[in-house]
Amino acid sequence: MSKLKFKILKQKWNARVWQITLNGITLTTPVFMPVGTKATIKGLVLDMLKDPKYIWDLPEIQLILANTFHLYLRPGDELIKEAWGLHTFENWDKLILTDSGGFQVFSLWLGKEEVEEDWGRSRKVEEGTHDVKMKLTEDGVKFRSPYDGSKHMFTPEGVVDIQSNFWSDIMMVLDVCSPSGADKKIIEQHMQMTHRRAKRAFDHLKPKYDEVRWVLFPIVQWGTYLDLRQQSVDFLTQYARDGIAVGGVSVWESKELIREVVAFTASKLPADKPRYLMWVGTPEDILHAVEQGFDMFDCVLPTRLGRHGEAFSADWNIKLNNAKYTKDFTPLTSDCWCYACKNFTKAYIHHLLKEKEMLWGILLSLHNILYLHKIVEDRKTNMLAQ
């Protein structure tokens, strides 16, 4: 029996509005999850996502994401367990989804250059001065920390235990994220390895499933090869007890290919389980995925753009460092009523950028998150009204 309770409220063609209840929290999908990589959403106090002063009349955000890879390295999952879990540690009383760290190991090592089959080479990473080596093995993935060069290994069972120490609500299995453009033979090997890892992870969780608060999602990967996507869905559906995730659609593929894969994969997923599309975070891509039947989304793009002075709007991204906004005393946008849009002009935020005042990143990150939140909330409202 599933711990994650869900029921359909409305469906129009493939798009759907679901009610999900887990650990005493009820939310409706589709839903965008802000990314709190290191137990914080960069630049924001988490209470801002629930306070009407900042979000106006939008519903509270009730689900955020945290990053297993980074939190495992610093401050460590044992410390977070000692602090009574991630919710207490970061003072968040809603739901938390944690990823498996598989993509981070992949992304820290991988450049856009040609990829060796064993992924055994090393390169410098932007975040630190240490060589990062990553090696796939049947047991798991070996890697060096980008912080201090120390050696580590993620296994399917170990990643479940790490996320359990976080007291996550929704956990992800340790998958293999194949690089865009890789040879199909290599990608198929990665797929089979991920399938074996999924079995190990769920076998590890099964004896204690009824005693713990968390649930575990498998992840469908495999790039733009639709036949491999089909094979992966067929295999992983047996583990989609509480939901299923889809990755590998934001690793340098073209937008056309991404949308083809999203539409195809959505049509093959179990119809009675929540569907989580990973790493998708532009307004148009989220709306496209909603129409295909996906329910949950996450991406670092809103806060990343905010820190670089860009704001989502109905027409195009507003680049506030542009000189034309020096004397633009109009609101940030006219189709959003968040704290930034209600209280500040483009000229003021442009001034903050030029003076390198950190408030600009706070305001634009808040706006961008709430802009995506408003898009999915408006879509739900329209569907329920029909």
The residues annotated with a catalytic role in the active site are: 99, 298
Instruction: Enumerate residues 6+ apart whose C-beta is below 8 A from 353.
Output: 309, 320, 321, 360
Phi, psi of 224 (to 5 degrees): -100, 10
State which amino acid sits at residue 291: E
Instruction: Enumerate residues 6+ apart whose C-beta is below 8 A from 301.
Output: 281, 282, 368
Residue 272 structure tokens: 């009675």
Residue 5 structure tokens: 């309770």
Taking residue 12's Cβ as centre, other Cβ atoms within 10 Å add up to: 11
352 closest CA partner among 307, 300, 317, 303: 307
From residue 321, give the alpha-carbon distance in Å to each of 127, 281, 342: 25, 22, 20
* Residue spans of alpha helices (H) in the chain: 52-55, 68-73, 77-82, 85-90, 102-109, 156-166, 184-205, 226-236, 255-268, 283-292, 301-307, 339-343, 346-354, 359-385
